[in-house]
Amino acid sequence: MKKKKILFAATLLSAGIFACACNTNKTAVKKINYDYLVLVNKYSKLPDDWEKNIELVDVKNAWDEDIKVEKEAYENYKKLKQELKKEGVNIELDSVYRSVKEQQELWDEWSKDPEKGIEYVKKYVATPGYSEHHTGLAIDICLKKDGKLVYENDDMISDRKTFAKIHKKLSKYGFILRYLENKDDITGYAYEPWHLRYVGSKNVAKEIMNKNITLEEYLGSIKDINNNKEAAKYQIEKTLQKYFEDIYKDKIINSRFNVTKIYTHEEIKKNETIKSLKIGKKDVAFEVTYQLQPTDESDINELMIPNGEYDQELGWVININRLGILKYNEKKGIYSIKNFGTGW
Ligand SMILES: [Zn+2]
């Protein structure tokens, strides 16, 4: 066991998980309260509990107006802006978060206006609940050139050179271009070079941008997670987080995971332990290292089961590599964790 412990620490170090091991600041830990890959479009409504969970920060847009944006998206936006500035490209925030209520007010106000009317509103204003701007993860940018703001749609669309530079940098900070050219049949919107969407992961963003696909297409491919490792990792981490929150309820403040291996179908066939678990075609066998942050030190013994240890300095229970199965329930269309910790 000792040997494995050392191996475990080395794995974590190489994975960069403990890059800030000396930093005990709890806010530095990422907790996913919401799904950064949430799909909101003309046909997919914002989840009902979204607005009460979303963490927004107050910022100013290009016109010095008070606006709000999701916290992590904004942190990454600042880095993107900084890097573009070095290349002589200046971007500013335009429209960002809009609550369902604000959208409803806009909808009501405009439909009462005799010059606009309901037909006009239907055409130009997204139905409340169906705008990606409700998520706080969508950012409309505008440009600043020679001290002047460039914000009109047509002016931005024709500035291909500047936007090519911007789009090249997006994935590095977890952003994608949401409304691609010639994909309006999928997204429901025409090309919008200014509408950026934060997806919470550089790897996911890279995959989407490199393949020149829409979020709709990417999420479609997630359903086939056996052929998509990044999607599988994302789904495993998300499902594990829920799994731990359910079994430990108020006993953990936080959890974090590092998926170290995803078994291919060939490997499963050769592995007697995993083979015996009767894995379905859409299930995924994986190995993960994980850590739990206890709410109260009196709970740590329970959290250490089966073979974790408590790192006093970090204040986290760190655990040995475990094997698990991500099961897909075809009828309900949901994932769950099965056989966690089996036969290692
Ligand atoms: Zn937009």
Q: What is the pLDDT of residues 98-130, one digit of tens each?
A: 999 999 998 888 888 887 777 777 766 788 999
In the predicted model, is pLDDT for residue 38 greater than 60?
A: yes
| CA dist., res. 327 & res. 339, Å (int) | 10
In the predicted model, is pLDDT for residue 3 greater than 90?
A: no
- Average pLDDT value for residue range 83-88: 97
- Average pLDDT value for residue range 300-304: 87
Write down the mean pLDDT value for the chain.
83
Q: How far apart are the CA of 325 and the centre of ligand 1, in A? A: 38
Q: How far apart are the CA of 253 and the centre of ligand 1, in A? A: 34
The string of DSSP letters for 137-149 reads -EEEEEEEETTEE
- Least confidently predicted of 143-147, 165-169, 316-320: 316-320
The string of DSSP letters for 180-201 reads -TT-HHHHSS---TTEEEE-S-
Residue ranges per domain, the chain? Answer: 2-29+226-338, 50-222
Q: With pLDDT > 90 as the criterion, what percentage of the chain qualifies?
A: 46
Q: How far apart are the CA of 341 and the centre of ligand 1, in A? A: 44
Q: How far apart are the CA of 227 and the centre of ligand 1, in A? A: 31
pLDDT level of residue 152 (50, 70, 90 thresholds): very high
Q: How far apart are the CA of 313 and the centre of ligand 1, in A? A: 44
What is residue 33's predicted lDDT score, i.e. its pLDDT? Answer: 65
Q: How far apart are the CA of 276 and the centre of ligand 1, in A? A: 49
- Average pLDDT value for residue range 326-343: 76
This prediction's pTM: 0.63
Q: How far apart are the CA of 176 and the centre of ligand 1, in A? A: 12
Q: Kindly list the protein residues that place their beta carbon closer than 5 angstroms to ligand 1, a single-atom ion.
A: 140, 195
Interval 278-295: pLDDT, tens? 888 878 899 998 899 999
- Average pLDDT value for residue range 250-257: 88
What is residue 302's predicted lDDT score, i.e. its pLDDT? Answer: 86
What CA dihedral angle connects 63, 142, 58 and 122, to 10 degrees? Answer: 90
Q: Which residues neighbour 297 within 8 Å (Cβ) at sequence distance 6 or greater?
A: none
192 is catalytic: yes
Q: How far apart are the CA of 237 and the centre of ligand 1, in A? A: 29
Q: How far apart are the CA of 233 and the centre of ligand 1, in A? A: 29
pLDDT level of residue 148 (50, 70, 90 thresholds): very high
What is residue 214's predicted lDDT score, i.e. its pLDDT? Answer: 93
> How crowded is the C-beta side of 113, counted as CA atoms within 13 Å?
11
Q: Contact at 8 Å (CB) between 267 and 286? A: no
What is residue 224's predicted lDDT score, i.e. its pLDDT? Answer: 64
Interval 264-275: pLDDT, tens? 888 888 888 888
Q: Contact at 8 Å (CB) between 7 and 204? A: no
In the predicted model, is pLDDT for residue 249 greater than 50?
A: yes
In the predicted model, is pLDDT for residue 239 greater than 80?
A: yes
What is residue 94's predicted lDDT score, i.e. its pLDDT? Answer: 96
What is residue 194's predicted lDDT score, i.e. its pLDDT? Answer: 96
**DSSP conformational letter for 173:** G
| CA dist., res. 292 & res. 303, Å (int) | 7
Q: Where does 50-222 sit in CATH, by number?
A: 3.30.1380.10
| CA dist., res. 188 & res. 168, Å (int) | 24
Interval 185-226: pLDDT, tens? 888 888 999 999 999 999 999 999 999 999 988 887 666 666
Q: Which residues neighbour 33 within 8 Å (Cβ) at sequence distance 6 or greater?
A: 53, 54, 55
What is residue 242's predicted lDDT score, i.e. its pLDDT? Answer: 83
Count of other CB atoms within 10 angstroms of residue 138: 22
Phi, psi values for residue 46, rounded to 5°? -60, 135
Q: Which residues neighbour 186 within 8 Å (Cβ) at sequence distance 6 or greater?
A: 214, 216, 217
- Average pLDDT value for residue range 215-242: 79
pLDDT level of residue 333 (50, 70, 90 thresholds): low
Distance of CA 179 to the CA centre of its chain: 18
| Better-scored residue on pLDDT, 274 or 75 | 75
In the predicted model, is pLDDT for residue 27 greater than 60?
A: no
- Least confidently predicted of 26-40, 75-89, 154-168, 228-242: 26-40
Q: Which one of the listed residues 192, 216, 287, 309 is annotated catalytic?
A: 192
Q: With pLDDT > 70 as the criterion, what percentage of the chain qualifies?
A: 86
| CA dist., res. 114 & res. 322, Å (int) | 64
The string of DSSP letters for 13-51 reads HHHTTTTTTT---GGGS---SS-TT---SSSSPPPTTHH
- Least confidently predicted of 183-187, 227-231, 244-248: 227-231
| Better-scored residue on pLDDT, 25 or 57 | 57
